Amino acid sequence: MHSQARTPVRVGVVGYGAFGRHHARNLAALEEAALIGVVDPDPEARADAERAGLTAFADVEGLLAAGIEAAVVAVPTALHEAAADPLIDASCALLVEKPLASDLAAAQRIIARCRRAGVPLMAGYVERYNPAVVALCAFVRAGHLGRIVAMSAKRVGVLPPRVRRANVLIDIGVHDLDVVALITGGPLKLLVARGGMAVSNDELDYATLAVESAGCAVSLEVNWITPVKLRQLTITGTHCYCHLDYIKQTARFAPGRTFDATATYEALLAQYVDGTMIDLPVKKREPLARELQVFLDGVRGGFMPDPSVTLESLRIAQEATLAIAAQNSLEARNEPLEREQFEIRGGAAAQPGPQGAIG
């Protein structure tokens, strides 16, 4: 049994695009994995894979014929369900990139199919494995923040070349929603959503949300229009304040303090400028490598995270998208949306009915 646990998992990657390449690179470097090959219908992508020393297939059937027991699905989100189906039929353990699907219903179907077939399934929410997030979660669980009263997340930057047609909330906003749910341990409730299309013609590329979770007020800003790339989270607790930078993999906290009366403006300013921020110990490592290691361990019988816990982030992203569309549609017709004219029920937007009633 001990030697079996050390046997490399025969794994393939479906989708050799911008992120699938990183999956393949990490799997090739992990001793727990035997990377059998990658799949991509694009001849140029397959040529890139072969230049990297990998075996490339034009379809999933070729990869399955080579003999795999697990696969990473890293195709565009809208294709996740179709890509997963033949792998589930072949009883391959799956790591499906975030979000599981482009809508909640499709994500639930993937989970249900895997459960019926007895196929291990993991959702690829890589920020859960960011060492800074791991350190911050441990700090929170130890009770050092006290009661969390507010959180603010910012995930902004320019539109990546890999993005062709994608909703910014579904594509990257789900990361922050998922981390919020991970930290609070409670369900998420959408309060307000605003956004629109600044550089895109058909998909949201900026959004700001107000969310509540376990009594904590949360603000979220996400876009593909800010000329600097920021990936940050701040948390205010009754005992201290925390700041996390996903890119730098840093987590810092400022303990509670008091401020003394001062005789001069300079002395007053110094009390704020000299405020102490203390670094939490963070063992830096590429988050994707940690995520893949958890997946491979799960395939070999270790802990496999429940994919259903990640549905909360997709649900809120979907609800916010519908709310923004309704708001923008009415504003385009110069008809302000009153609070009682719009609500969300079970992941779907309820549109105004006769005399403004909710249908």
Short-list 279, 308, 303, CA closest to 291? 303
Short-list 173, 55, 168, 196, CA closest to 125? 173
In sign, the C-alpha dihedral spanning 311, 312, 313, 316 is positive
261 vs 216, more confident: 216
CA distance 13 to 345: 37
Residue 113 has pLDDT above 70, yes or no: yes
CA distance 70 to 98: 17
What confidence tier does 267 reach under pLDDT thresholds 50, 70, 90? confident
Q: For the residues 135-151, what does the mean pLDDT come to?
A: 96
Q: Are 207 and 197 in contact (CB under 8 A)?
A: no
Q: Are 19 and 77 in contact (CB under 8 A)?
A: no
Q: Are 57 and 35 in contact (CB under 8 A)?
A: no
255 vs 226, more confident: 226
The predicted pLDDT at position 293 comes to: 97
The predicted pLDDT at position 343 comes to: 45
Q: Which residues pair with 37 in a beta bridge?
A: 12
Where would I find the beta strands (DSSP E) of the chain?
9-14, 33-39, 56-57, 70-73, 93-97, 121-124, 148-158, 188-196, 206-213, 216-223, 225-237, 240-245, 250-255, 278-279, 343-345, 348-350
The predicted pLDDT at position 259 comes to: 64
Phi, psi of 142 (to 5 degrees): -75, -5
CA distance 12 to 37: 5
Q: DSSP alpha helices (H): ranges in 17-162?
A: 20-29, 43-51, 60-66, 80-89, 104-117, 131-141
- Taken in order of first residue, the domains within the chain and their CATH numbers are 2-124 (3.40.50.720), 128-279 (3.30.360.10)
348 vs 236, more confident: 236
CA distance 92 to 64: 9
* pLDDT > 90 fraction of the chain, expressed in percent and rounded: 79
What average pLDDT does the chain have?
89
The predicted pLDDT at position 200 comes to: 80
Residue 356 has pLDDT above 60, yes or no: no
Q: For the residues 67-83, what does the mean pLDDT come to?
A: 97
- Find the range with the poorest average confidence among 129-143, 273-287, 325-339: 325-339
What confidence tier does 336 reach under pLDDT thresholds 50, 70, 90? low
Q: For the residues 136-148, what does the mean pLDDT come to?
A: 96
The predicted pLDDT at position 76 comes to: 93
Angle between helices 43-51 and 20-29 (to 10 degrees): 20
CA distance 18 to 26: 13
Q: Which residues pair with 237 in a beta bridge?
A: 148
Helix (H) / strand (E) element for 146: namely none
The predicted pLDDT at position 100 comes to: 97
pLDDT digits 0-9 by tens, 180-192: 999 999 899 999 9
The predicted pLDDT at position 311 comes to: 96
All residues at 6 or more sequence positions from 352 whose CB lies less than 8 Å from its CB, including other chains: 341, 342, 358, 359
Q: For the residues 219-228, what does the mean pLDDT come to?
A: 96
Residue 268 has pLDDT above 90, yes or no: no
Residue 5 has pLDDT above 70, yes or no: no
Short-list 66, 80, 70, CA closest to 17? 80
Helix (H) / strand (E) element for 353: namely none
Q: How many CB atoms within 10 Å of residue 31?
A: 9
Short-list 291, 284, 156, 285, CA closest to 231? 156
Q: Are 249 and 131 in contact (CB under 8 A)?
A: yes
With vertex at residue 180, the alpha carbon angle to CA 228 and CA 118, rounded to the nearest 5 degrees, is: 115
Q: Quick check: pTM over 0.75? A: yes
Q: For the residues 129-133, what does the mean pLDDT come to?
A: 98
CA distance 132 to 135: 5
Residue 30 has pLDDT above 50, yes or no: yes
- Find the range with the poorest average confidence among 20-34, 270-284, 319-333: 270-284
The predicted pLDDT at position 274 comes to: 54
Residue 342 has pLDDT above 50, yes or no: no
Residue 320 has pLDDT above 90, yes or no: yes
- SS3 (DSSP) at 203: coil
Residue 349 has pLDDT above 50, yes or no: no
The predicted pLDDT at position 258 comes to: 65
349 vs 29, more confident: 29
The predicted pLDDT at position 357 comes to: 28
